[in-house]
Amino acid sequence: MFINILLLIIGFVLLSKGADLLVDGASAIARKFNIPEIVIGLTIVACGTSAPEAAVSISSVIQGATGVGIGNILGSNIANILLILGVSAVISNLYVQKNTVLYEIPFLGFISLLLMFMGWRYGMVSRGGAGILCLLFLAFMFYLYIISKKQKPENSPIENISKIKMICFVIFGIAALVIGAKMTVDSATNIARILHVSERIIGLTVIAFGTSLPELVTCITAALKKHSDIVIGNIIGSNLFNVLFVLGITGLIYPIPFEPAFLIDAALGIIATVLLLIFVFYDKKLTRTKGAILLALYGAYLVYLIK
């Protein structure tokens, strides 16, 4: 028990330090190279914090546990919007770019609906469906390239940090997040088993929450530092990356069964995305009150799962 508690503490320290390095490195790169922070959040930060979901989903398919992949992605995407954006907004009001409201959030809603349609109509994400997801991922990358050229970043002081140091911050930050998340999940799972908590509860809480820890810690750190674009970009980018890249690549390796029970989770993911769009559509701001509503909905979802 003592070793597991020690590993849990070390895991949280790595998560905290990794998030700090990633946010500082990403924001410094944005300023140094005149790249909008929202683009950095949608790419470097989002892909880095989604590494645990990618590792769990792809490895589960290789090991034959194909159902884990889709459940992990759906659960993480719901937690990203309702839990992580909720917590971040309660910490600090989040301001949302016009492009995010008009294009990126609706696109997330579209691909969430497409995934649900695949599950309802075909009962799986086939190799053909996975190919479509990969093509949409490439299209999204091209869109980000276009807006990075058109959208001017905010005027900020140029960082004095060297380019190599910035890149090292990002690389070491992502590495610390991934290692910290694994140590935290493994040690927490072991503690739960020692305390005779059921495997089902462990799966629904520790494992599902654990793969979203990098997003959570990174977004809280970014919110405290008033980097709204990194928070929003991280969550929207992570959800898009999870569906388009992770499920796309996973489905190309092996078709992913989509159990009927997952349709409810997929529908909730769509509802969460639509609700987010409604919240930010007019004033381009996710306030503390709206964040609290998102958190309440996530609490209700957990009660539903446990029952």
Buried b (16+ CB within 10 A) or exposed e, 93-111: bbbbbebbbeebbebbbeb
What CA–CA distances, in Å, run from 207 to 30, 85, 167, 181?
33, 19, 30, 10
**pLDDT, one tens digit for every residue, the chain (307 residues):** 778 788 877 876 776 677 677 777 777 777 777 777 778 777 777 777 676 667 666 666 666 655 556 777 888 889 899 999 999 999 989 999 888 999 999 999 999 999 999 999 998 999 999 999 999 999 998 888 888 777 655 554 445 667 788 888 878 877 877 787 677 667 766 776 787 765 445 544 565 666 677 777 778 888 888 888 888 888 998 899 889 988 898 888 888 888 887 898 899 999 999 999 999 999 999 999 999 999 999 999 888 877 6
Distance CA 264, CA 287 (A): 28
What CATH number corresponds to the domain at position 276? 1.20.1420.30
Which helix or strand (DSSP H or E) is residue 115 part of?
A: helix 105-122
What CA–CA distances, in Å, run from 205 to 79, 147, 201, 253?
11, 37, 6, 28
Distance CA 281, CA 276 (A): 8
Adjacent-strand bridge partners of 125: 256
Joined together, the tokens standing for residue 1 give 């028990």
Query: For the chain, what's the residue count?
Result: 307
The parent domain of residue 186 ranges over 2-306
Adjacent-strand bridge partners of 124: 257
Joined together, the tokens standing for residue 260 give 């009927």
pTM over 0.85: no
Instruction: Return the DSSP state at 92.
Output: S
Distance CA 54, CA 73 (A): 9
Structural domains counted in the chain: 1
Q: How many CB atoms lie within 10 A of CB 121?
A: 10
Q: How many CB atoms lie within 10 A of CB 200?
A: 10
User: DSSP of 155-190, one letter per residue?
Assistant: P-PPP-S-HHHHHHHHHHHHHHHHHHHHHHHHHHHH
